[in-house]
């Protein structure tokens, strides 16, 4: 009961997700990444139309860690990006559930007749 309530509270707090949070969840859906890796993934997923600054990224990461959507995995060197140690982040179970729920919500919107008309270029009937 209390778990259901806390999940409900979480969903109420987070839905609909902010664009930054959604993009980070999407970037981490494929596996763990460090901060710059997340920025690259976001840019790649959006065909460079969305570029997240480090300020937005780490502000969102802080809030997502607090909400239990992501967690730190470990700190290690990424051979592709210098020899500094970097902190990696990954989705938690809760984060995966939230991401799934958000995608389903967006999917429902996309299946609405008005959305289909808008995408096909037809006017409202």
| Interacting residues toward another protein by CB under 8 A | 9, 12-13, 18-20, 34-36, 39, 48-59, 61-62, 81-82, 84, 86-87
In the bound state with another protein, the residue whose beta carbon lies nearer, of 51 and 108, is 51
Rounded distance between C-alpha atoms, residue 122 and residue 37, angstroms: 39
Q: Is 91 exposed, middle or buried (0-12, 13-18, 19+ CB in 10 A)?
A: buried
In the bound state with another protein, the residue whose beta carbon lies nearer, of 87 and 116, is 87
In the bound state with another protein, the residue whose beta carbon lies nearer, of 54 and 116, is 54
CB 82 → another protein: shortest distance, Å? 8
CB 117 → another protein: shortest distance, Å? 25
Query: Do 24 and 64 meet the contact criterion of CB atoms below 8 Å apart?
Result: yes
CB 98 → another protein: shortest distance, Å? 15
Using CA atoms, how far residue 50 sits from 2, 39, 47, 91, 118, in Å, is 38, 9, 8, 21, 22
CB 109 → another protein: shortest distance, Å? 18
In the bound state with another protein, the residue whose beta carbon lies nearer, of 20 and 91, is 20
And the tokens for 27?
Answer: 């970037």
Rounded distance between C-alpha atoms, residue 120 and residue 114, angstroms: 10
């Amino acid at each position: 009961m209390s778990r259901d309530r806390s999940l409900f509270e979480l969903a109420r707090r987070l839905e609909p997700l902010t664009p930054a949070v959604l993009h980070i969840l999407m970037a981490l859906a494929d596996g763990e990444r460090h901060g710059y890796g997340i920025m690259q993934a976001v840019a790649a997923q959006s065909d460079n139309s969305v570029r997240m600054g480090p300020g937005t990224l780490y502000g969102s990461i802080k809030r997502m860690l607090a909400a239990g959507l992501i967690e730190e995995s470990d700190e290690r060197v990424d051979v592709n990006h210098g020899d500094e140690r970097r902190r990696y982040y990954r989705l938690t179970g809760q984060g995966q559930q939230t991401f799934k729920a958000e995608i389903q919500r967006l999917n429902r919107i996309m299946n609405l007749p008005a959305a289909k008309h808008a995408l096909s270029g037809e006017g409202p009937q």
